[in-house]
Chain A
Amino acid sequence: MSIVQYLTEEHRRCDEVYAQAEQAVLDEDWDRANRLFKEFKEKTLLHFRKEEDILFPEFEEKTGIVMGPTQVMRHEHAQAKDLLEKLEKALETKNKEEFLSAGESLMILIQQHNMKEEQILYPMSDQHLSSEEMVEKMSALGEV
């Protein structure tokens, strides 16, 4: 399996769970919303970890580009983590409006981030790294 395919499928799985969590907030089904959001957060953070601990260092080592795209991706991961905290707080206080507002920012941030990864970074990683080996290493961290 290629890196593009493996990590893109993870993006889509995270999107699915977020859509369900958002629906639960919309229905004001807070227990379900909490459970689904927790699942979404865990999946997202695991996906970030696979990239930050395995893919990005290998990419940087192989290409010699350290302060380039991987740095931007890390920066956007940090922005996403801030928003995840905002969402968590909104859930704690059962503030629907705040959840949906921060959620919209998170969705667009993640989607444009995913676009860059899926169209630029992952294909380049497939070109420069051993795809099978990378997928195997990332899978060892767990499945999203």
Chain B
Amino acid sequence: MIPRGLSLLQAPPFSVIARFFITFPLFGVLSSILAFSYLIKEPFNLPALVHTFTLGLMASVMLGALFQMLPVVAGAVIENPLPKAEISHLSLVLGTLLLIFGFLSGQSLALWGSLLLLAGGLYFTAFLMFFKLIKLKSYTPTSKGMKFALGLFTVGISCGVLMVLSLLGTVNLNYGFFLNAHISFLLFGWVCLLIASVAFQVIEMFFVTPPYPKNFSNLFPLATTFFVLLNTFFESFFTKILISLLFLSFAVLTIERLLKRRRKIPDPLISLWYLGMGFLLMAMILYPFTDKYEIFLLFLLLFGNFALSVIMAMSYRIIPFLVWFHLSAEGSEAPTMYEIIKPSWIWFNYRVHLIASFLSVISFILEYKILWLFALAFYTFSFLLLFTGLLKGCLKYFKKPHRQSVSLQR
């Protein structure tokens, strides 16, 4: 039987992906502004800050990337993707803004609104993608990993929904248990697993490296799921060690592959991958000790820097390529990737991000308020550079006149 996914003509229009990639850096700016306000005026509202980053930035870019990658990597075509992406993107953006407002103000109406928008939009997108994937045979660890990651994502969201309902006083639950499950499922089962699954494919291909060990990449989705479940139902130092070891191995193997790469061209994206893996190593070393609140906060900071570095690396590759690819497919005069976003811009953004991320860790350890201010200023600048770079890239596509009758959709 020929799967429907084999109809590769149905590459998603560029605007499906562009909308997610243009808005996510703005949530980075918003998270810096929130952190600034906490420095000036207490109290510190961790849920508002964390969800600005995890939903507005991470979930947005990851779902956007999946709209593009599903047909390419797994052969799962989402028919008529434009309105679906609009629903997904709008509900995510508005729902996240309402959730932040709800956390900050404590207004139940805002929380209810965010719950409806986020649960509606995220379940819709996750199920849409999950059921496309589940019908197809997974030929690679990447498509298998995406399947598992989307499954674990829906469980993680459900825990979040239940916790908001508990905050609204409509359900009674063991909040500690659901918080641990929410964190485990989303940080490890969704973010880490999805990044690792994509890395299994792109690290080897983009940088011409040796492949990941087959058994490791094949078993990775299952191992992540098993350890996340174990850590949810039997949370202990031992279960945290298992999760740590799994992702430490991934980080070490990725660094090893990058060191052995055959394309030696200086590339800021490789530096971002190294940086990301460095932060993942540090985060996972700390993870078993996160019972202590300060260590948990430092773990979140390191984990955020890991995810942000990898997301930047992927965004700066995906957008220029798609602009070139779609323009070239339409028969227009297509600029090459370096002309779409200049490597000098990406190098500059990388350096600003590097300073911001290290300053934030040093500020956390030394507890100097003035250092925090500098760190946040650099983060804000870095997010603005990212936003401008990606926007300029996207505009190179949108400003060109487009032919309607082309073989590939826009």
State whether the Cβ of B40 lies closer than 8 Å to any Cβ in chain A: no
Closest CB in chain B relative to A4 CB, distance in Å: 9
- Other-chain residue from A16, A63, A119, A121 in contact with B262 (beta carbon distance below 8 A): A16
CB of A69 within 8 A of CB of B201, answer no
State whether the Cβ of A141 lies closer than 8 Å to any Cβ in chain B: no
Residue on A nearest B11 in the bound complex, by CB:
A72
State whether the Cβ of B139 lies closer than 8 Å to any Cβ in chain A: yes
State whether the Cβ of B7 lies closer than 8 Å to any Cβ in chain A: yes
Residue on B nearest A4 in the bound complex, by CB:
B139
Closest CB in chain A relative to B317 CB, distance in Å: 7
A56 to B31, CA, bound (A): 51
State whether the Cβ of A144 lies closer than 8 Å to any Cβ in chain B: no
Binary contact readout A58-82 vs B (1 if CB under 8 angstroms, 0 otherwise): 0000010101110111010001001
State whether the Cβ of A100 lies closer than 8 Å to any Cβ in chain B: yes
CB of B139 within 8 A of CB of A86, answer no
Which of B15-23, B68-76, B387-395 lies at the binding interface?
Answer: B68-76
CB of A115 within 8 A of CB of B72, answer yes
CB of B2 within 8 A of CB of A63, answer yes
CB of B6 within 8 A of CB of A107, answer no
CB of A115 within 8 A of CB of B73, answer yes
State whether the Cβ of A34 lies closer than 8 Å to any Cβ in chain B: no
- Other-chain residue from B9, B139, B328, B337 in contact with A71 (beta carbon distance below 8 A): B9
State whether the Cβ of A15 lies closer than 8 Å to any Cβ in chain B: yes
Neighbouring A residues of B338 by C-beta, 8 Å:
97, 100-101, 104
Task: Given A108-B337, A115-B205, answer yes or no on A123-B8 (Cβ-Cβ < 8 Å).
Answer: no
CB of B336 within 8 A of CB of A120, answer no
Which of A18-26, A37-45, A46-54, A132-140 lies at the binding interface?
Answer: A18-26
Task: Given A19-B208, A65-B2, answer yes or no on A102-B325 (Cβ-Cβ < 8 Å).
Answer: no
Closest CB in chain A relative to B345 CB, distance in Å: 13
The bracket for how many chain A residues form the interface is 35 or more
CB of B208 within 8 A of CB of A69, answer no
Binary contact readout B324-345 vs A (1 if CB under 8 angstroms, 0 otherwise): 1100110000001111000000
CB of A68 within 8 A of CB of B9, answer yes
Neighbouring B residues of A130 by C-beta, 8 Å:
none
Residue on A nearest B68 in the bound complex, by CB:
A112
A86 to B205, CA, bound (A): 22
What number of B residues sit within 8 Å (CB to CB) of A?
Answer: 35
Closest CB in chain A relative to B344 CB, distance in Å: 11
State whether the Cβ of B263 lies closer than 8 Å to any Cβ in chain A: yes
State whether the Cβ of B369 lies closer than 8 Å to any Cβ in chain A: no
Among B201, B336, B337, the one with the most A-chain Cβ atoms within 10 Å of its Cβ is: B336
Instruction: State which residues 315-370 of B face A: CB under 8 Å.
Output: 317, 321, 324-325, 328-329, 336-339
Residue on A nearest B7 in the bound complex, by CB:
A68
Closest CB in chain A relative to B233 CB, distance in Å: 34
Binary contact readout B205-219 vs A (1 if CB under 8 angstroms, 0 otherwise): 110100000000000
Neighbouring A residues of B328 by C-beta, 8 Å:
79, 82
CB of A119 within 8 A of CB of B208, answer no
CB of B6 within 8 A of CB of A101, answer no
Binary contact readout A1-43 vs B (1 if CB under 8 angstroms, 0 otherwise): 0000000000000011011101100100000000000000000
Binary contact readout A98-113 vs B (1 if CB under 8 angstroms, 0 otherwise): 1011101101110110
Q: Supply 30 A–B pairs (Cβ within 8 Å), ascending by A.
A: A16-B208, A16-B262, A18-B208, A20-B262, A23-B263, A23-B265, A26-B264, A68-B6, A69-B6, A69-B7, A71-B9, A72-B9, A72-B408, A75-B329, A75-B407, A79-B328, A86-B336, A97-B338, A101-B337, A102-B336, A105-B337, A107-B206, A109-B325, A112-B72, A112-B321, A115-B72, A119-B75, A119-B140, A119-B143, A123-B139
Given known contacts A68-B8, A120-B3, what 8 new A-B pairs fall within 8 Å (CB)? Answer: A19-B264, A22-B263, A65-B2, A72-B8, A101-B338, A114-B205, A115-B72, A120-B8
